[in-house]
Structure 1
Amino acid sequence: MERIDCEVKNYDWGKKGADSVVAHVFQAGHPHVPIDPNRPYAELWMGTHPDGPAVIRSTGRKLSTHIVETEAGDNNNNLKKNRQELHLAFIQKLMSIQRTLSLQVHPTKEEAEWLHEQDPIHYPDRNHKPELAFALTRFELLCGFRPAQEIALNMRTFPELCVIMGVKNCKEFCELAQEEQRNAKTLKECLKRCIKSMLDMQVNQPRKVVEQLESMYYTINRQNVRGCLLEETVDVMNRTHDEFPGDVGCFAPLYVNHMILEPGECCYYGAGEIHAYLSGECIECVGCSNNTIRAALTPKYIDRENLVKILNYRMTKPDFYLVHPETLAQFPHVEQYAPDCKDFTLHQIKISRPTSSSTTFSLPTLSCGSILIVIEGSAHLDEPQTSNRQRAARGDIIYIPPSTEVRFIDVEERVLAYRTFSYEEGPDHESRSEAAKATLEYRKGNGIVPDSIVNQHVDKRPFNRLIMSESEKHDFMFDPEMEADGFL
């Protein structure tokens, strides 16, 4: 096992200075680095992705290079010869969120590959990006479309939403929602038209969006009209309006679930799910990708057509997205969070200070590489089969190679740690640097994902072809730091 140094992202939406858990945890592992009270500390990336690669502390070599040099054995000689780096399938992140991130969605692998070929500037990766969020503090997010009955209630309660989504569309939606099971497919098609109308209005009639937002907020705050909104959701809407005045994304809590995760709760969503993080701290596990299709609540590139097409339009209660822990029989101090996703599994490790200093706490031996971060406490990680022993205290991040037996020893303070792993091989990013040099002059076709690719994974979801006009294509170069997920 090796101690690794990882990269902090200072995105504007992050908590500043001493208010950020990211800042405190990072400084604990790097005592010589002071915390800047005026700087946001948004994310700590732990993985091999080119936008934030981990390095081996003892050698300064990138972790992806270290894996090639130390783990590509006899069965992988051809792979070792042909590739200079091998990537993990995941990125583990620590996040501290002060301001709302963009309303967004992520593509499937097939959609990501197609988007990358068409537009490597805005879609620099060929990989998908499923996401898991484990709450360290009270953590708020928008995730997935509300149940149809709730959306219909808010349409009837707030006429401003109908103006934005199209009065005819909303009337049809409310009628279809009365017999939701029988009309499930048609209901999704209608919701799609509602979303398209709303996003188009932001571009074509921005003043009308402002007027409808002003009217809606008067109805909510002066007349105390609620629909199916809880008071916590009203607070979110007011905060979002302060951060993004005039943005059509301010309507999102009317049709997207507002989830509040308490510490220790966890949620997961895959490709095609609309979402936006709002506030709090979490451990996040994502596929090794930086592809994001944005809808609103951001000054960055918004790809309306592909977003409308790729959304899955699932309407369900927020409980659908929760991931429940599994305690491992032989490891009572380890809880496993394993969503329906091959790209990552998360282990939470909680160890109370033992009565005897000789007590050991073994971790599962995995046939794949993993990354472990200590959030609280002080101990050591020991390899019983070797003399390798690493300090494991707050802020320490350790890469554990495949088939390595490790255990916590010398526990001095209660330990809280998180370990992410995957048995999948990570994506090949070696062509990514060339893609980053490309310009939109190389764009092929109209930049809209074909029906044949979208329909592979969305269960008979029909889509109409949408064409992006030349005036909507941005002409700036891709900047990994700027385009990273959620940067505002």
Structure 2
Amino acid sequence: MNRLTNTIRPYAWGSTTAIPELLGTPPTGEPQAELWMGAHPGAPSRIDRGEGPVALDTVIAADPRAELGDTTVKRFGPRLPFLFKVLAAGAPLSVQVHPDLAQAKAGFADEEARGIPTDAPDRNYKDANHKPEMLVALSPFDGLCGFRRPTDAADLIDGLGVPALAPYADILRAHPEDKALREVLAAVLTAEPEAMAESVTAAAEAAARLSTPDSPYAADYAAYAQAAHSFPGDRGVIAAMLLNYVRLQPGEALYLGAGVPHAYLDGLGVEIMANSDNVLRCGLTPKHIDVPELLRVVRFEAGDPGVLRPEAAPDGEELYAAPIDEFRLSRYVLAPGAQARTLDSGTPQILLCTAGRAELRDGDGTALTLAPGESAYVPASERTTLTGEGTVFRATVAA
């Protein structure tokens, strides 16, 4: 096992305080959005096995079977199939969707064949992989996840009293669910920019007025008003009104599969995803929006956002179940004096302490203590025991 040295990504939407508070370090005054743990080539963690720090992707590439295990290499190739993060949103992230595996492979091959550089601003597919993801809240966490029922979205939009938005509400009530959602999202994303900006401004002002306790959509309106404050005139504010607003309490989670529109608005959480960077955006962003491709990838299915809570196992592990093979996320809430947990999965693991202290011990008796925000990498071939007092998240590969 090895302690990880991780990179903090300073995206503009990041909180200036949440990650420093977790790590117990002074704020820099700059946004700190994501702490990356893993072997993604964009910002691989580093480990030291006695010869100085080495990037984890380099270590894995040198001997993938020893690091990942035969099963993981056979299923996913010679790379760590997941990326683990601490995410700290101080402002809304873009409303976005991710492709499924077939769409990612086809889209990547098409853009490669057309010679579009992978760093081009209008490139949709950075790789040929899908990007299912899960977020577990460490603080109260606001987000958007999946489509509302069209009639509910129509009621929310009508409640704003903005005449320019009334046609969207009419469509949402007049057509079958999938057709209504598709038609309204397409109309919002292709509307004349100046007229849409005026509608967004009027909607934001109304939402701010209506975010009072006596409103049936008080929390929803407050979230949309805040999004509009961060992105004045952005059509994504109206697109976001088609989505379920959800507030997670610490320990609750969301799983986001392919084609599900979503956005993170505010809060601190841990996030795990398949090792991909494929994102199609539909608002709350200055970045490229490919409307035809977006409409092809989005699944126009309404429903409950599906808040997850961990499932307890006999050994004290609490599993966040997800229908995906690339990752498996669980949590241990450690009590002092409790029996040591043996972590022996035959797959690579990353362990992250988010509260208290955790002690890891390998088969040779070597110990490693983790404080909040610190993490460790455990190769597939290594058995590790876990004790301490606090909370530890365990990221590995599904069996």
TM-score exceeds 0.5: yes
Distance 1:286 1:313 in 2: 22
Q: Tell me the equivalent position of 1:200.
A: 190
- In 2, are the aligned partners of 1:233 and 1:253 still within 8 Å (CA)? no
1:390-429 map, 5 Å: 390-409=368-387, 411=388, 414-423=389-398
Measured after TM superposition, the shift of residue 53 of structure 1 is: 0.7
Aligned with 2:180 (options 171, 176, 190): 190
In structure 2, the CA distance between the partners of 1:133 and 1:194, relative to structure 1 (3 Å rule), is: same
> Does residue 262 of structure 2 align to residue 279 of structure 1?
no
Structure-2 separation of matches of 1:401 and 1:386: 14
TM-score (norm 1): 0.72
Partner of 1:11: 11
Find the aligned partners of 1:322 and 1:218 in 2 and give their Cα distance: 30
2:300 to 313, 321, 331: 313
- Residue in 1 aligned with 2:154? 152
Contact 1:107 1:128 in 2 (8 A): yes
- Which segment drifts farther, 54-63 or 4-13? 54-63
Q: Which whole-Å CA distance do the structure 2 matches of 1:327 and 1:222 have between them? A: 43
Query: Deviation string for 1:18-48 (max 9, x for gaps)?
Result: x22x22444x5xxxxx644311111101111
C-alpha displacement of 1:347: 1.2
Which moved further from structure 2: 107-116 or 259-268?
107-116
Q: Counterpart in 2 of 1:373?
A: 352
Larger Rg: 1
Q: Residue 252 of structure 1: SS of its match in structure 2?
A: helix
Distance in 1, matches of 2:215 and 2:153, equals: 9
Contact 1:14 1:40 (C-alpha < 8 Å) held by counterparts: yes
CA shift for structure 1 position 224: 7.8
Question: Which of 37, 44, 49 is the aligned partner of 1:46?
Answer: 37
Contact 1:128 1:289 in 2 (8 A): yes
1:219 offset after TM fit, Å? 4.1
AA matched with 2:172: F
Give yes or no for contact 2:172–2:181 (8 Å, CA) kept in 1: yes
Q: What amino acid does structure 1 have at the position aligned with 2:150?
A: A
Identity %: 27
1:67 maps onto 2:60 in alignment: yes
Q: Find out whether 1:23 has 2:20 as its counterpart.
A: yes
Q: Using the TM superposition, give the Cα deviation of residue 404 of structure 1 relative to its aligned residue in structure 2, in angstroms.
A: 2.7
Distance in 1 (CA, whole Å) between partners of 2:323 and 2:295 is: 24
Q: Is 1:348 paired with 2:342?
A: no
Identify the residue that residue 266 of structure 1 maps to in structure 2: 253
- For the pair 1:327 / 2:326, whether they are aligned, the reply is no
C-alpha change, 1:216 and 1:67, in structure 2 (3 Å) is closer
Please give the alpha-carbon distance, in whole angstroms, between the structure 1 residues aligned to 2:344 and 2:89.
33
Match of 1:432 in 2: none
The aligned counterpart of 1:477 is none
Q: CA offset at residue 423 of structure 1?
A: 4.0
User: Residue 155 of structure 2: SS of its match in structure 1?
Assistant: helix
* Deviations 1:100-132 (CA, angstroms, capped at 9, x unpaired): 110111111121122223143422221111111
Q: Give the alignment of 1:58-137 within 5 angstroms.
A: 58=49, 59-72=52-65, 86-117=78-109, 118=111, 119=116, 120=118, 121=120, 122=123, 123-137=125-139
Q: Distance in 2 between matches of 1:351 and 1:226?
A: 38
Q: 1:360 to 1:221 in 2, by over 3 A?
A: closer
> Aligned residue pairs: how many?
382
1:366-414 Cα distance to aligned partner (Å, 9 max, x none): 021010111222242112x3233222233321111114322124x3xx2
Q: Which amino acid aligns with 1:208?
A: A
**Secondary structure in structure 2 of the residue aligned to 1:41:** coil
Alignment of 1:192-231 (within 5 A): 192-201=182-191, 205-221=192-208, 230-231=217-218
What is the SS of the residue equivalent to 1:100? coil
Give the conservation status (yes or no) of the 8 Å contact 2:140–2:250. yes
Letter in 2 for 1:388: T
1:401 & 1:240 partners in 2: Cα distance? 41
* Alignment check: 8 A CA contact 2:47 2:54 kept: yes
Q: 1:155 to 1:71 in 2, by over 3 A?
A: closer
- Aligned partners of 1:360 and 1:407 also within 8 Å: no
1:293-333: per-residue Cα shift (whole Å, max 9, x none)? 11111111222221111100110122xx222311111x12x
In structure 1, the residue corresponding to 2:151 is in which secondary structure? helix
1:31 corresponding residue in structure 2: none
Segment of structure 1 superposing worse, 126-135 or 236-245: 236-245
Give the Cα–Cα distance (whole angstroms) in 1 for the partners of residues 100 and 341 of structure 2: 36
For 2:90 and 2:247, locate their aligned partners in 1 and report how far apart those are by CA, in whole Å: 15
Amino acid at match of 1:9: R
In the alignment, residue 89 of structure 2 is paired with which amino acid?
I
3-state DSSP of counterpart to 1:50: coil
CA distance in 2: counterparts of 1:379 and 1:131, whole angstroms:
26
The answer to whether the 8 A contact 1:338-1:344 is kept is: no
Post-superposition CA distance 1:409-433 (Å, at most 9, x none): 4x3xx22111111148xxxxxxxxx
Question: Once the 2 structures are TM-superposed, how far is the Cα of residue 258 of structure 1 from its aligned partner?
Answer: 0.3
Unaligned runs of 5+ in 2: none
Aligned positions of 1:378-389 closer than 5 A: 378-383=357-362, 385-389=363-367
Give the root-mean-square deviation of aligned CA atoms: 2.7
Assess if the C-alpha contact under 8 Å between 2:207 and 2:222 holds in 1: no
Match of 1:174 in 2: 173
